[in-house]
Amino acid sequence: MKSFKLVGTGEHKVLLFPGLMGTKDAFDAMLKYADLERFQYAAVDYRGYGCSKPMEGLFTLREAVVDACKLVEYLGWKNIAVGGHSLGALVAQMLAVAMPHRTSAILSIAGVSAKGAASDPARAALMEEAATSAEKRQQIVKGGTANRCSDAFARALVAATFAEISPAAFKGYESDARRTDIREQVKELPHPVLAMVGEFDPACSEQAARETTATFFKQVEIQVIRGASHYPPYEAPAETIAALERFLGKHLTREQDAPPLQLGTGENA
């Protein structure tokens, strides 16, 4: 990634990927409450997003993973937790597959599972329109909160990034997420996984996480973020970062004394 932001100075490194309607600023609200002496976070822009909007590309998730591998090398990070919101959680899982020996934990925030995004034709048509329509994106946000959020919340969330996202990139990542299925690749990963789900999320629900992520990985903890729906980093930022750091604190402490992972013959970057 050419565009990213670093927050914190801690020894534990966390790489974060935004959702389809987010940029590297998507985690700002929750990072206000992070333990920045213990953790260091990097949040990224995909090609076609934010400060990387002018960048050309295929706009696929695999391309995003290749860019992320280069960023990890650039930062010199040897041991990282990878996480993301919604579509970004799928990218994080793909990065764990690509760099298993560098990965210590996987974090999913209202995340798309390893089987990829739903391919319902009506939703696909809506997402196609949303590439160029702020009103359609607001409709998606409202649906993601089960219509619990105000119109002002939906407008604000969309307005924050609408002009910063290339329509071609939006369409590319969304359609690729519907074509992506990495269930076979993740089933052998030994990493602990935290699946954070909003209490009122109609799609990425606790039940959905138990039927998908909890069956795909060997070590999964599900944390319900009370009062939130599909946008916990915005709706419940303090609770979301607290759950994330509790989980990492528990598993990264163990990681310090654990032997290196023996998984395959090397990184697949």
In a domain, 12, yes or no: yes
pLDDT digits (tens, 9 = 90+) for 21-37: 999 999 999 999 999 99
- pLDDT given for residue 266 in this prediction: 35
Give the pLDDT confidence score for residue 134 in this predicted structure.
98
Distance CA 200, CA 53 (A): 32
Q: Is residue 155 part of a domain?
A: no
Residue 133 in any domain: the answer is no
Give the Cα-Cα-Cα angle 98, 104, 105 (nearest 5 degrees): 90
Domain-embedded: residue 169: no
- Decide which of 258 and 147 is more confident: 147
Domain range for 231 = 4-117+181-257
173 in any annotated domain = no
The CATH number assigned to the domain holding 25 equals: 3.40.50.1820
Place of tokens 């579509």: 87
Going through the chain in order, the beta strands assigned E by DSSP cover: 4-7, 12-17, 39-44, 80-85, 103-109, 192-198, 219-225
The overall average pLDDT reported for the chain is: 93
Instruction: Count other Cβ atoms within 10 Å, centred on residue 121.
Output: 7
Residue 197 falls inside a structural domain: yes
Within-domain flag for 16: yes
Give 75-108 pLDDT, tens digit per residue.
999 999 999 999 999 999 999 999 999 999 999 9
pLDDT for position 269: 30
Query: What confidence tens digit (pLDDT) does each residue in 51-73 have?
Result: 999 999 999 999 999 999 999 99
SS3 call for 17:
strand
Q: Is 171 inside any structural domain?
A: no
Number of domains in the chain: 1
pLDDT at position 255 is: 43
The pLDDT score that the predictor gives to residue 154 is 98
